[in-house]
Amino acid sequence: MAYWWSCAWKNPDHLLFTMNIFRYLLFPLLLCPSLLLAAPGNPDPLPSSRWALALDYQDMLSTHRTHFRGGSILLSRPLHAGWSVGLGLEYAAAPYHDDNGYNLYRLRFVPVTADAGLQLPFGHSFLFLSRIAAGLSFAKYQQEAGSLPGQRTVIREKGLFLQGSLGVGYQVSRRLTPLIMGGIKGFHMSTNNLDVNPHGVTFRAGIQWNIF
């Protein structure tokens, strides 16, 4: 995290991205739930006795303009007043990514995460969704130095995964809810400036099924 802030102050683009995180994601995460909870007439969230299974497609655009595409699965348990906790598994891949002067090929990331979420109804059958996830990300990719084209080394490593998302869902029925979310995430958050850490804005679209 210290490395993130040092880069932000030295690089205007990185600083703008960092400030936008607080402006468009973290601030609404704190503000919107309190406003919705205070609004009169909101119906109660789904019963806390149910487990929910969410499947979604994700597309992250990194700060290096690389798309990391994949999907995730989340099993969550509602608690009280719309809050929930869960465990998730994600897969994301990219054919090529440049980082720290290296050409990286066939990148694969598999994060295993713990998730905390907030789900609040508004309007007719709509849901406000907020999720934060943290976990361990397993990475595999081929590394090629720019000065040594054609010589690739297979790298396997792991690191801290973080993600925050906001979105909306529409309750088609008591069990099925399509959802769309946007946010930010990083696959390998680190203070080491030599670590490969794709991070950026992400788009998510999927369904949530209340299984029992």
Residue at 156 is within a domain? yes
Question: Residues 47, 71, 73, 172: what is their CA dihedral angle, to the nearest 10 degrees?
Answer: 30
Q: How far apart are CA 102 and CA 188, in angstroms?
A: 17
Residue at 6 is within a domain? no
Does position 196 have pLDDT exceeding 70, yes or no? yes
Residue at 20 is within a domain? no
Residue at 2 is within a domain? no
Beta strand pairing call for 83-99 and 176-189: unpaired
Task: Please compute the mean of the pLDDT values over residues 17-33 and round it to a whole number.
Answer: 47
Residue at 197 is within a domain? yes
Q: Confirm if 21 and 27 have CB atoms less than 8 A apart.
A: no
Residue span of the structural domain in which 151 resides: 49-210
Residue at 11 is within a domain? no
Beta strands in 146-190 (DSSP E): 152-170, 176-189
Question: What's the CATH code of the domain at 134?
Answer: 2.40.160.20
Question: In sequence order, which residues have a C-beta less than 8 Å from that of residue 141 and are 6 or more positions away?
Answer: 97, 104, 105, 106, 107, 108, 154, 155, 196
Does position 40 have pLDDT exceeding 90, yes or no? no
Structurally, the chain folds into a number of domains equal to 1
For 66-103, how does the pLDDT look when each residue is reduced to its tens digit (9 = 90+)? 999 999 999 999 888 889 999 999 999 999 998 877 89
Q: How many CB atoms lie within 10 A of CB 107?
A: 23
The more confidently predicted of residues 47 and 208 is: 208
Residue at 34 is within a domain? no
pTM given for the model: 0.75
Residue at 42 is within a domain? no
